[in-house]
A = this chain, B = another copy of it.
Amino acid sequence: MKISALQKARYSYNPKLPAILREDILSIRPVEGGKTTSVSDQKQIEKLFPNTYGLPQVSFAKGGKRECGRKMNVGVILSGGQAPGGHNVICGLYDALKKANPQSTLYGFLGGPSGILEDKYIVMTDELIDAYRNTGGFDIIGSGRTKLETTEQFEICTKVCRSHGINAVVIIGGDDSNTNAAVLAEYFRAKGEKICVVGCPKTIDGDLKNECIEASFGFDTAVKTYSELIGNIERDANSARKYWHFIRLMGRSASHIALECALQTQPNICLIGEEVEAKNQSIDEITDYIATIIAKRAEAGNNFGVILVPEGLIEFVPSLKVLIREINDLLARTEQQFNALESIAQKISFVEGKLSAESKKVFDSLPEEIKGQLLADRDPHGNVQVSKIETEKLLIQTVTKRLKEMKAAGTYKGKFSAQNHFFGYEGRCAFPSNFDADYCYSLGYNAALLADFDLSGYLSSVRGLSLPADQWQAGGIPITMMMNLEQRHGEMKPVIRKALVELDGKPFRYFASQRDSWAVGTEYTFPGAIQYFGPSEVCDRTTMTLELEHSK
């Protein structure tokens, strides 16, 4: 394998740890805070987690020195979509385990949670770990989307862990995976199994955060990668002065990525799903909003611009949400019949005939291409694949039509030519920024300590992230503390509450206070490529979201 010059140089980067984690690992002790309660539905959640509910928050502090850490066998699992820094979590975990006790062993389960079910693993070695330090991707052991949630699966986990003498499992995942980690922790405790389960907060989407978890890892690097590209496109737009660039950004259930990219690049327009939902906006209204700004810019001779569109937008548009739900229900009921149809045209007319009057109207208003995308590939559960729907093209079409009408009415005199882009996969496996390299390494190192002290059902927590790394605080948060009950597949389930963009939060409010000026002016900012070396203000800064959230 040919290793790039950057990868070689990054091998020698030494991730920064919080001050407490730089202490001799055998002198670090957990300090218990007060007991915790879940964010809501306390009684029901306590009932569901009799053994792991109400645990105290834990922080680490310096104490008397132990002779040696426990000899541990730890299993690690990467769950769900890739996020930059996953390898560093594993490196930090490995280093801390070996420091505390060189006899400890780290098992990497292969291909995600299915690795533990199928007992497929590798044993981590210095050589392997060194080949992945500060690199992007999850390829060291691979990832997967199998969910660990049934008792049958938990029984297999028990058997596999027992067979290797595993006394802790570290699950690196998003809100769903960490919810399942909590359920598994509760299961092990209930069964008297001496297996500790620790979670790590991963997702580029940025929707796993709360009072105690300031950011999920990977968000920083992913948004910086997208912002690099958006800034480049802005500069191109402002040089060529002839295109409107519609850029769709990954991030389905929340618009954090789009918001952060807007804060970094100051585009003319950025749509925020949560706002669209709160205002109950239709595609027509969104189209109006965009077309009005295009017309204003055209008056000043600026027939160009940049628009950010979150991937999940269409699920936030109430009428489209209803349509998608109807299609999902319909296809679930008529799967065989539907699948027997050969052409997209047949599928479209099949569906059209079976929708409610309201949804038929919405469906009919969509361009053919988008109708096709709604019906073409579906996910393993048979649902519409929202990520495959080219919302940016949909908007280009609706805006083109609206501008034509405006031209006919004399309210628009410009020229409109559009380019479409989608950024998602480009950012999930980038080399982690210094921030993510440090944060992830700290999360992993910290997870080893949580495991060593048998703090099961905890999420590895590193806080104070808007400060320099040596001022970060390390500890653990009981996962049940972040839970509430939500309806899933018709049942109420305990889940970690997803963090949406808060319309009264500082990041959105700052954006909202600036956007009218960005819309008409051309106030683009060009962040450029992520820098790993060089001046600290260039290579060590984290996101504006975090800065604003923690500003006074």
Chain A residues close to B by CB (< 8 Å): 1-10, 81-82, 111, 135-139, 142-143, 225, 228-229, 231-233, 235-236, 238-241, 245, 264, 266, 369, 377, 417, 419, 421-422, 425-431, 523-535, 537-539, 541
* Docked-complex contact B430 and A4, CB < 8 angstroms: no
C-alpha gap A6/B534 in the complex (Å): 10
Supposing A4-B525, A528-B6 touch, asked if A235 and B429 sit within 8 A by C-beta, the answer is: yes
In the complex, chain B residues whose CB is within 8 Å of the CB of A136: 232, 235, 526, 528
Return the chain B residue nearest A86 by Cβ.
B239
* Docked-complex contact B2 and A523, CB < 8 angstroms: yes
In the complex, chain B residues whose CB is within 8 Å of the CB of A430: 228, 232, 528-529
C-alpha gap A530/B539 in the complex (Å): 13
In angstroms, how far is the closest chain B Cβ from the Cβ of A184?
23
Residue in contact with A239 in the complex, picked from B8, B143, B369, B527, CB distance below 8 Å = B143
Residue in contact with A429 in the complex, picked from B135, B142, B232, CB distance below 8 Å = B232
* Docked-complex contact A429 and B239, CB < 8 angstroms: yes
* Docked-complex contact A241 and B531, CB < 8 angstroms: no
In angstroms, how far is the closest chain B Cβ from the Cβ of A380?
11
Quick one: which of A6, A142, A228, A239 has the most chain B CB within 10 A? A239
C-alpha gap A111/B527 in the complex (Å): 25
* Docked-complex contact B236 and A527, CB < 8 angstroms: no
* Docked-complex contact B232 and A426, CB < 8 angstroms: yes
Supposing A2-B523, A541-B5 touch, asked if A245 and B533 sit within 8 A by C-beta, the answer is: no
In the complex, chain B residues whose CB is within 8 Å of the CB of A139: 235, 238-239
In the complex, chain B residues whose CB is within 8 Å of the CB of A538: 5-6, 9, 533
Supposing A431-B528, A528-B4, A534-B534 touch, asked if A137 and B228 sit within 8 A by C-beta, the answer is: no
* Docked-complex contact A534 and B537, CB < 8 angstroms: no
In the complex, chain B residues whose CB is within 8 Å of the CB of A264: 4
Which 8 pairs across A and B sit closest by C-beta, in order of nearness?
A533-B534, A529-B529, A137-B235, A235-B429, A6-B528, A138-B239, A236-B429, A533-B533
Return the chain B residue nearest A540 by Cβ.
B5
In the complex, chain B residues whose CB is within 8 Å of the CB of A417: 377
Contacts A111-B241, A137-B239 known; list 15 others, CB within 8 Å: A2-B525, A3-B525, A4-B528, A9-B538, A10-B528, A136-B526, A137-B526, A139-B238, A225-B232, A232-B427, A369-B369, A421-B426, A528-B532, A531-B531, A533-B535
* Docked-complex contact B534 and A241, CB < 8 angstroms: no
In the complex, chain B residues whose CB is within 8 Å of the CB of A534: 9, 532-534
C-alpha gap A280/B531 in the complex (Å): 44
C-alpha gap A524/B429 in the complex (Å): 13
C-alpha gap A523/B4 in the complex (Å): 12
Supposing A233-B426, A419-B425 touch, asked if A529 and B239 sit within 8 A by C-beta, the answer is: no
* Docked-complex contact A240 and B82, CB < 8 angstroms: yes
In the complex, chain B residues whose CB is within 8 Å of the CB of A142: 239-241
In the complex, chain B residues whose CB is within 8 Å of the CB of A245: 425
Residue in contact with A2 in the complex, picked from B111, B266, B425, B528, CB distance below 8 Å = B266
C-alpha gap A530/B238 in the complex (Å): 22
In the complex, chain B residues whose CB is within 8 Å of the CB of A138: 239-240
* Docked-complex contact B527 and A233, CB < 8 angstroms: no
* Docked-complex contact B82 and A9, CB < 8 angstroms: no
In angstroms, how far is the closest chain B Cβ from the Cβ of A135?
7
C-alpha gap A202/B491 in the complex (Å): 62
C-alpha gap A529/B431 in the complex (Å): 8
C-alpha gap A539/B8 in the complex (Å): 13
Return the chain B residue nearest A433 by Cβ.
B529
C-alpha gap A417/B380 in the complex (Å): 12
C-alpha gap A523/B473 in the complex (Å): 40
Residue in contact with A233 in the complex, picked from B1, B143, B232, B425, CB distance below 8 Å = B425
C-alpha gap A75/B235 in the complex (Å): 23
